[in-house]
Every structure is written in C-alpha cells, then in structure tokens.
Chains A and B, each alone.
Chain A
Amino acid sequence: MKKLLEVKDLSVSFDTFAGEVKAIRGVTFDLDKNETLAIVGESGSGKSVTAQSLMRLIPMPPGKFTGGSIHFEGEDLTQKSEKQMESIRGQEISMIFQDPMTSLNPTMTVGKQIAEGLIKHQNMSKKAAHDRGIELLKLVGIPNPEARIKQYPHQYSGGMRQRAMIAIALACNPKILIADEPTTALDVTIQAQILDLMRELQEKTGTAIILITHDLGVVANAASRVAVMYGGKIVETGNVDEIFYNPKHPYTWGLLGSMPKLDNEDEELQAIPGSPPDLLDPPKGCPFVTRCPYAMKVCENHMPEYTELSDTQKTACWLLDERAPKVDPPESAKVGGSKVHG
C-alpha cells in the first residue's frame, strides 16, 4: 500500500546576502492516512521550513529546492506549477499557523475567510458556503456560530481564533493537515482543548496530521510517530513509545532531559548547552557534534548513517556503531511511565 505522503531527501536553501542558508538538508519521512506525525526540534532546526515546503509556501526566490522530492498520492509536488499547487493548497493539504492573533485577516469576517476556500475549491455558492461555515464553526466548538460567523477576528478570543483557523483549514476536508506549532501561542488550558479538538476531528474525518512543535508534552499527548529534527536533518524517528522510553540519540536525550518534570521540584531546569549550528556553513559531520557530551572524532567529519533499531525507529548517531563505546542515556532523559504531562 502506498503512503499518502513520502518526502525523500528534501533539501531547501535560502539565498541571502551572506550566502546560501541550507535550512533543511536531506529530510526523509512519510505519512499514512489517519496518522499523526510530530516533528520536534528547537528553533532553527528546520521544522517550519519543512512544513511550509510541503505546501510550497516558501517564497522562491530567495528560497529554492536543492534536491529531493515530495510525493503526495504518487505525484511529486516539487514539480507542480504554481497553478496546480493552488488546487492542492486548502483542498488536499492545509495548514494551521502558530499565532492565531496574526494569522487571520483582521478586515474580513471569519465567515468570509472560511467561505473563500469552499467557493474556490468546491464551487459552492455563497449561501452554501455560509451554511457550511456555520456547520464548521459548530464542529470546532464555537458557541453561537450563527452570530459568530459574521464577526471579525478581533471579536474572538485567542483560543477561539485558533478554533476558527482549524475550521478554515478543515473546510475542504483535506487529506493532510499541517499544524505548525498550533498551541505555542495559547495558554495551557486552551492548549489541551485545541489538541483534544484536533484529535477528535481526526477521528471524524480521517485526516493525517503533521504536528510541528518544540513541546514534547504536546507530542506525548497527540502524536503517534515522532521525527526529531536538528540542524536541518532528522536525527531520530520512531513511534512515541520508542522516542520517550528508548531514545538513542543524544539530542533526543537532551530534549527529554530539558522537559520540566513534576516529581523533582528542587531540581533546576536542564538545558542543552550551546546553540544550534550556523546553517550558512553547516558542519560536515553530525550537526550536534559541538553540543554533544559524547562526541567522538568521527562525528566531526562524517555524518552518521541511520541505524534501524526496529521497524519504526531509526537513529543517526555514531554511538550506535558497533565500534563505538557503549553509552547509557543520562538519568534526566528517563521518562517515568506516568510522568509525561501535556
């Protein structure tokens, strides 16, 4: 059975005055129907660029594909014309952005913003699109949708705006929903509601979700598979259990270690010292080498191959080479069974 989305060796660069910034360098992953894939990593690791290049939303120039392919239902999106992409965006693949405060048009009613896509992609009449808009607002849990649909975004609260965003994204029943840090700008109680809503809607519609986040709590709550990104590369992938209970990459250990834990109150918050590599001149070997406490000589000059640890888990680290010393993950990276909090 063919996968819904297959991204192979995708590389995207940006031409800047300082030179070519290699934002993502050979990213490979796939996505099945009804699945939620989380892409995690810190700022600048290439998560958002990956997400936006799937929809070809990267302005080109300055951005450009420098290699690889994005196969969606067997067709390569990198080869599509702008016109063909327009019928895929919103219809087949849609996206929710990070900040609901700024991602809705302030001078257009929410109803019109929902209707726009319906009218374009499904040839609906204005009336039909309006009615469907009310239905969608009800679906995402906005009370009194008949009145709300006529309002402008500034009359909505933050959580409601993100709900409206989700309604817009789901309007045409897309096959893939890309959520780029959908909960980062929301407060914690609303975060949980939005995640629940996304999960509930996924059950109803069967949409596959790509969840971009740096919040491991969100991942534990919502995802079925995880890809950990660092320095423009995926350093480890696996299903949620593998990433949380059997992580193999030192960066994943660092991420897990820096998660605040509820049980040891007096302990300081762990951080990964250092900063991510400069992608203007990316390191030849493993991008994590400068911050990795277990770095070896080989890491500097050679990017490790993926080691397949199971059907689902793959890790790119030299520590997994048979010639490397055995290293156990640090205590801080251990996640207790019930300690994963959203």
Chain B
Amino acid sequence: MAKYLLKRLGYILVSLFFIVTITFFLMKAAPGGPFASERKLPPAIEQQMNEAYGLNDPIIKQYGDYLVNVVKFDFGPSFKYTGQEVSDIIKRSFPYSLILGLEAIFLALAVGVLLGVVAALKHNKFGDYIAMVIAVLGISVPSFIMATILQYIFAIKLQALPVARFESFAHTILPAVALATTPLAFIARLMRSSMLEVLNADYIKTAKSKGMSERVVTYKHALRNAILPVVSYLGPLVVGILTGSFIIEKIFGIPGLGNEFVVSVTNRDYTVIMGTTVFFSVLLLFSILVVDLIYGLVDPRIKVTDGGGKE
C-alpha cells in the first residue's frame, strides 16, 4: 500500500512537471505581456519593469528559474496586483471555490444517484420518464444558460434568492445548482443504466431466493454494485466541477479561484497563471488518486496492491 502510494505520488510529480512546462511555454508564446495596456507605459519604465521581473532574461533561463522556485513552493509576486503574492491570492480565493465545488458535488451525487435509482426501479413507468426528461434537459442545457435562467426565475422574478455575490449560504444555492446540473444529469443516466443491469443480475435473484425483502435487495445488494460506475466517474466529475466553476464564478460574481484564473489569463499575469494552473493540477491529480482509493474500498475485486496496478 505504502509502495503503491509512493508510486502514484511519483506519477503525480511527473505529470506536474509536464503541466508546468507546457503551460509555461504556451503562456510565453501568447502575444502581449503583463505591462501592455491601453495606456501605454513609457518605454523606459516598461524596460525597467521587465528587468525587475526578470522578463528580459532568455526564455530558457526564465523557465529554469521558475522551476527552481516552484520546487521551493515559491510562486512569486503577482505582476498586476502589486504587493500580493500568488499564494495570497490562492489562499484568499480558494475557499469560495471549495465551498461552491463541494456543494455542487454533493448535490450532483445525491440527487443524481437518487434520480437514477428511482428511474431504474420504476423502469418504463411514469417515474422513469420524469427522471430521464430531467436528465436529458440537464445534459443538453449548458451551465451558463442554466445559471442565467436560475438567476432570472429565482432571483429576479421570485426574489427568493440573491442574484449574485457570495456572502451567505443563500448566495451559494443558485451557483451550486447551476454548477451541478450537468454532472447531476450524467450521474442520473449512469446510475439508471447500471442499476437496471444489476437488478437483472443473478445475485439479485439469489438474494430474493433467500427471502430478502425488496428494500433489502435494492439497498444492500443492488446499490453498492450499481454505484461503481458512478465512483469511477467521480474523477472526471471533480474536473468538470472545477472547470465549470470558471464560468459560473464569473456569472455570479464570486471572487473564487476560477474567476481569478480567468482574470489572470486576460491580464497576462504570468505568475498568477502559473500558480493557479499548478494548484488546479495538484488538486485534480490528488482527487483522481483519492477516487482510485475509494474505488478499491467499494469494489473488493479491485485491490490497491504494492504492484501498483489493479489486480
């Protein structure tokens, strides 16, 4: 187990190295710079700024310096907001994204699994059709449309919830729902088909032949087996929620990390771009590792072994 974890950590480091390298050169390849704006700076001052931030060095040296700093967990200062370290920006904005993301993941999982199970149990009946209509709508309506529709109905027409910003729990509801819609719909469909398959499995018949009630058969025997595909979808789900949050945070005016990330790209705020990218990547790589570990817990056939692979 320890050996397996070490191996996975090694892979994470290798992935991170590639992510850092590719992002760095892509960023440099994009035209413009942090100090290019409508109001042109006097060339002498721009020259001095570039010198101060090391932007006049050859690109390979800049890259080398950056790698060394990243290893030391030093992401450097923001180019745009003077006096702010990249780590400060992440520390300030990440909690918003984290709360939003967790709420959305929870919502997507709870409602998605429930809808899927209901649809499977009421196969080809009214409940099934309702659940699948919701699912198809959820998959086909993009999150930014969903967000504006939600804002229009619940905030403007009904005045029930705040339209934007992030101050109380009530503020989180609309963005979390908008963020959760697509993965929720996807999970519902996934859960329905896998539940239908499991309910026809031989071991369900065995459980029934033991005299187990419908309820025990569904929850104790069917659910745990049916949920496996959903667990393996958790990795991509986390990715979806994180990237989805870029747009949602922008629409709802939430000062989260996604918002910060988008702003930093338009500002060519080199250190913030790199810092947030690395941070997101670390988050992602670790959540995939966690999902793999959970998968091993839910399905005893998949053993996390010292060999590193799946048995």
Contacting pair A168 B221 (CB below 8 A):
no
- State whether B205 touches A105 (Cβ < 8 A): no
- Does any Cβ of A come within 8 Å of B57's Cβ? no
Q: Is the CB of B206 within 8 A of A117?
A: no
* Inter-subunit contact B213/A95 (CB<8 Å): no
Nearest to A118 among chain B residues (CB) is B210
Residue pair A97, B301 in contact (C-beta under 8 Å)? no
Contact of A152 with B211 at beta-carbon distance under 8 Å, contacts A102-B203, A105-B221, A168-B206 already known: no
CB proximity to B under 8 Å, residues A12-58: 55, 57
Query: Within 8 Å CB of B301, what residues of A?
Result: 106, 152, 154
Q: Which of A3-11, A83-91, A138-146, A208-216 faces chain B?
A: A83-91
Q: Which of A85, A103, A120 contacts B205 (CB 8 A)?
A: A103
Q: Is the CB of A264 closer than 8 A to any CB of chain B?
A: no
Interface residue A313 (Cβ < 8 Å from any Cβ of B): no
Q: Which chain A residues border B225 with CB–CB below 8 Å?
A: 105-107
Task: Verify A105–B212 contact, CB threshold 8 A.
Answer: no
In the docked arrangement, what's the CA distance between A168 and B224, Å? 20
B201 in the interface (beta carbon within 8 A): yes
Are B205 and A57 touching (Cβ within 8 A)? yes
Cα–Cα, bound, A195→B3 (Å): 45
**Whole-angstrom distance between the alpha carbons of A119 and B208 in the complex?**
15
Check B211 against A57 for contact (C-beta < 8 Å): no
Query: Given the known A-B contacts A103-B205, A105-B206, A107-B224, are A86 and B300 also in contact in the complex, defined by CB atoms under 8 Å?
Result: no
Closest to B301 in A: A154
- Expressed in whole angstroms, the Cα–Cα distance for A90 and B213 within the complex equals 12
Q: Is the CB of B213 within 8 A of A86?
A: yes
Looking at B207, B212, B220, B225, which has the most chain A CB atoms within 10 Å of its CB?
A: B207
B224/A97 in contact, CB under 8 A: no
Task: Give the chain A neighbours of B300 by CB distance below 8 A.
Answer: 106-107, 152, 154
Contact A87 B224 (CB under 8 A): no
Q: A97-B206, A103-B206, A104-B203 are in contact. Are A117 and B211 (CB under 8 A)?
A: yes
B209 close to chain A: CB less than 8 A? yes
Q: How far is the CB of B192 from chain A (nearest CB, A)?
A: 18
Chain B: number of interface residues, binned into ranges: 20 to 34
* A99 at the B interface (CB under 8 A): yes
Establish whether residues B209 and A105, one from each chain, have CB atoms under 8 Å apart when the complex forms: no
A100-116 at interface with B (beta carbon < 8 Å): 102-108, 113, 116
B210 in contact with A106 (CB, 8 Å):
no
Report how far A69 CA is from B296 CA in the complex, Å. 48
A175 to B: closest C-beta gap in Å: 14
Q: Which residues of A contact B211 (CB under 8 A)?
A: 85-91, 117, 120-121
Q: Closest residue of chain B to A108, judged by CB?
A: B221
| 8 Å CB interface, B196-241 against A | 201-203, 205-214, 216, 220-221, 224-225
- Whether B208 pairs with A89 at a CB distance below 8 angstroms is yes
* Known A-B contacts A103-B202, A106-B301, A152-B300; A57 and B221 likewise in contact (beta carbons under 8 Å): no
**Mind listing 30 A-B residue pairs with CB under 8 Å?**
A55-B209, A57-B209, A85-B211, A86-B213, A89-B209, A90-B209, A95-B209, A97-B205, A97-B209, A102-B201, A103-B202, A103-B205, A104-B203, A105-B203, A105-B206, A105-B207, A105-B225, A106-B203, A106-B299, A107-B298, A116-B210, A116-B212, A116-B216, A117-B211, A120-B210, A120-B211, A120-B212, A121-B211, A152-B300, A154-B300
Supply 10 further A-B pairs (C-beta < 8 A) apart from A86-B211, A89-B211, A107-B225: A57-B205, A88-B211, A94-B210, A97-B202, A102-B202, A103-B206, A107-B300, A108-B221, A116-B216, A117-B211
B interface, CB within 8 angstroms of A: 201-203, 205-214, 216, 220-221, 224-225, 298-301
